[in-house]
Each structure stands twice: as C-alpha cells, then as structure tokens.
Amino acid sequence: MVASAGMIDRDAAPVVPDRSSDGLGSVFLAARAGDDGAFGELYHRFARVVHGIALSQVGPGDAEDAAQEAFVAVHRGLAGVRDAKALPAWICTIARNTALDHLRRRVRRPARTGLPELAGPPERGSDTELRERVVARIRELPEAYRETLVLRLLEGLGGPEIAERTGLTPASVRVNLTRGMAMLRPKLEEEGWP
C-alpha cells in the first residue's frame, strides 16, 4: 500500500485522534486497536457511502460484492491509518479502488453460459427497474457528480452527511449535487420522465 499524507506510515508519528464532536476519533482508536464493536460502528457510519460509491462505479449487480470487499480491505488496513481525520477520505478511496478492481475483474471474466436465470426480468415500472434506470443515467455523468448523486438520491444521505463521510467540504457537495442534477435532468427527460 502506498503511503499518503497523514494516512499510512507505521513508524512515523503517533496516532492522531479526531477531536470532533461526532466521536469518530474514539471509535477509530478502538477499531484500530482491534475492537470488533468499534469496527461495527465504523461499518454502520460508512456502509451507505461505501455502497453508494460501489453502486456509482459498478452498478446494481455488483455493488454489494464490491462494498463487502471494500470493508474487508478497510479492516485489514485500519492499523496503518494514524490520523482519524483522514479516515473518511481513506475509506472512500478504498471503496473507489475496490470498485475499479471489481470492474477490471468483471471485464476479464468470460461470459457465463449454462443454466438460465430462474427469476424473470423485473416487471415494467417496478422499483428495481426504476432504480436500475436511474443508476444507468447517473453512471453516464462525471465521477464527482455520480458519487454525490448516488449518495443523495439512492442511499438517502443528506448533504452534511455526505460531506462528513466522504471528506468533501459541504460547499463541494452542494456544487456537485447542483451540477449533477442539472446534467441528470435532461437525461431523465429524454426517457420521458417528468
């Protein structure tokens, strides 16, 4: 793993806990020390963000697997993180890299042949189909807009939550959501959505 500013370097400086009011610093320290309950809290705080990032990269079919792989990587690498303030951005970077790795493996995988799927296609107008169509349109957008839109529209996070859990500033989140929606609306209107 490559060392980044403030993130990984086991021999350099002591751990710097986050002193913010949300308690991330204490949860981080406990999880880093091997407390499974604290890691569960980190999972709870970041699960929707990691899933949203995976969804924006690999689509609905593989998002669950990519998110699970990302949390395995987070668990393995947590001991190397020394600054709690870097944790949200570090987790998001792992989610992005894991999703991209998942895409690369999918491209190299030969097409499956064999037994047909037992479940039929989703019914026209179903929630599953609607979600997949929205994700498909969102995935056509630039990455910065893709991620924030998925986190807002599909994962249900508010702007401040997105900022807190991704390491982006609230202003950046607002800009990304505004510009992303401006780019998404015409795509949805082309499909006949109001």
Terminal CA-to-CA distance of the chain, rounded, Å?
46
Is the model's pLDDT at 179 over the cut of 60?
A: yes
- Are the C-beta atoms of 37 and 27 separated by less than 8 Å? no
pLDDT tens-place string over residues 138-166: 989 988 799 899 999 889 999 999 999 99
Is the model's pLDDT at 17 over the cut of 70?
A: no
- Are the C-beta atoms of 98 and 58 separated by less than 8 Å? no
CATH code assigned at 152: 1.10.1740.10
Is the model's pLDDT at 6 over the cut of 70?
A: no
One-letter identity of residue 59: G
Residue 166 three-state SS? helix
Please report whether residue 153 resides in a domain.
yes
Could you tell me which of 191, 155, 159 has the C-alpha nearest to residue 46?
155
Placement of tokens 């913010």 in the chain = 20
pLDDT at 102: 87
Residue 159 three-state SS? helix
pLDDT at 3: 40
pLDDT tens-place string over residues 51-102: 999 999 888 888 999 999 999 999 999 988 888 888 999 999 999 999 999 8
Please report whether residue 18 resides in a domain.
no
- How many CB atoms are closer than 10 A to CB 20? 11
How far is it, in rounded angstroms, from Cα 81 to Cα 70?
A: 15
Please report whether residue 6 resides in a domain.
no
One-letter identity of residue 79: A
- How many CB atoms are closer than 10 A to CB 137? 19
pLDDT at 23: 77
Please report whether residue 9 resides in a domain.
no
Please report whether residue 72 resides in a domain.
yes
Please report whether residue 4 resides in a domain.
no
Question: Which of the 8 DSSP states describes residue 194?
Answer: -
Domain range for 53: 24-110+124-190
> Greater confidence, 118 or 128?
128
In the chain, where does DSSP find H-type helix? Answer: 24-32, 36-58, 63-77, 87-108, 127-138, 143-149, 159-166, 170-190
pLDDT at 108: 61
Please report whether residue 115 resides in a domain.
no
How far is it, in rounded angstroms, from Cα 78 to Cα 189?
A: 44
Q: Look up the pTM and report it.
A: 0.72
Please report whether residue 1 resides in a domain.
no
Is the model's pLDDT at 42 over the cut of 80?
A: yes
Number of separate domains in the chain:
1
